[in-house]
Each structure stands twice: as C-alpha cells, then as structure tokens.
Amino acid sequence: MRYISTRGQAPALNFEDVLLAGLASDGGLYVPENLPRFTQEEIASWAGLPYHELAFRVMRPFVAGSIADADFKKILEETYGAFAHAAVAPLRQLNGNEWVMELFHGPTLAFKDFALQLLGRLLDHVLVKRGERVVIVGATSGDTGSAAIEGCRRCDNVDIFILHPHQRVSEVQRRQMTTIFGDNIHNIAIEGNFDDCQEMVKASFADQSFLKGTRLVAVNSINWARIMAQIVYYFHAALQ
C-alpha cells in the first residue's frame, strides 16, 4: 500500500514511513493511494470473529508490505486484549430496533483508545526495527492526551510531550495525564486554551530544527494510523 498527500506535491510513502511522517512535506494529509474493496460474501464471513481478528482483516491491506502478518496479528491481539470487555466494543440494545455501541472499555475510557493503544505498539515495532527514536508532540483538550500517554508509556524509543490548557480539562482527564510517571512522559499545562496548544504543536512541526537529528511524530488525527484503526468498529457494528 502506498500513501499520497491530499495536496499532491509530496512523495508517495509506504505505511511505515507515513506512520512516522505526520503531515506531508507539502502540508497535506497522507491518505491511501487506493482503498481496498471487500465483497459482501467476504465481509459476511467475518461475522463472529474476535475483535482483534476482525481488525486484522480490515486493516491488513493498509499495512501490506510494511509489517509482516504474524507481527501485525500479535500487535492487534495485545492491543485489544487490554480492553476491559471481552467484546471490546459491545452493542447494547436500547429498544426494538435501536442499539448503541460502547467505545469506553479501553484503559482511559475514551474512544481514542481504539487507535492510540494500537499506535503506540506500531511505533514501538517500527522504531525497534529501524533503531530510531522519535519525539511525539500533541495538543489535547483532554481525551487525546490521556489516551496517547497510556498508549505510549511503555514505548522504549518514544519521548512524548502533551500540551493541555491549564484548568480547562476535566479533573479525571487531568489526573489520567499527570499521574503516569516515566522518564519519557512529559505533560505540560499551558496558560491558554486548546487552540494555543495546537498552535505550538503546529509551529513545532513546521520548524523541527530544534530536534537535533530526531523527528516529530503526530498522535492527533493527522496520523493515518489513527483513522485506520477507527474504521474497524464500523465493520464490527454492522456485522453484529
């Protein structure tokens, strides 16, 4: 699978490079050059699969050529095995023909756990293989920050910096972000609002000369891996 920029001026990359790239060099977002297509019969055959196995079938085309099947299966099993409910994203019936899908069974109770628990493990896999270290910088109004820190806390080759607006996140989110301790975790309260945090992150990505040889990686929604992971639970709901 190759990825191209929405602005059309950046070089095409494979999944591994897109995972580490963040924004494209022309300021665009990296998206798949072609979307995979599944037949109705193929999708129907996935009914009843455990969540991590369904995730493998949906996401495999997006990582093809970059991550071996056996490695990807192991990463997905570890990712979704950490969720508190065996169904990972269970459906609850409200009445005769209305259902709600619960996306709060991850470690930080946010739907972003579905992507960020996976992103941390993908980064660890790729960086160990490359022998590289990266810096994650992210802005949050609450849930992205705690999910990103939880997802990357065990990554040996990642330093993570999360900016949140001081006294403008919930107390639960503040505690989730500020009570996980590690030499690679840096949570920073900014005197301002979320937009101020985001502007600082954008400025950092625009001029990375301060990094002295390493690179920035995005955990916000500009990273394709986050979008990819969140596709799966729509298949899960439809099959249920």
- The tally of CA atoms less than 13 A away on the side-chain side of residue 174 is 9
Inter-helix orientation angle 224-239/51-63, to 10°: 140
Strand partners, 163: 139, 188
Q: Which of 73, 112, 202, 212 is catalytic?
A: 112
| Among 120, 99, 91, 124, residue whose Cα is nearest residue 108 | 120
Look up 112 and say whether it is catalytic: yes
Dihedral angle over CA of 49, 51, 57, 59, nearest 10? 170
Written as one string, the DSSP assignment of 115-170 is HHHHHHHHHHHHHHHHT--EEEEEE-SSHHHHHHHHHHTT-TTEEEEEEEETT-S-
Please report which helix (H) or strand (E) contains residue 77, including its range: helix 69-81
Question: Is there a contact between 239 and 54 (Cβ–Cβ < 8 Å)?
Answer: yes
Q: Which residues are catalytic?
A: 112
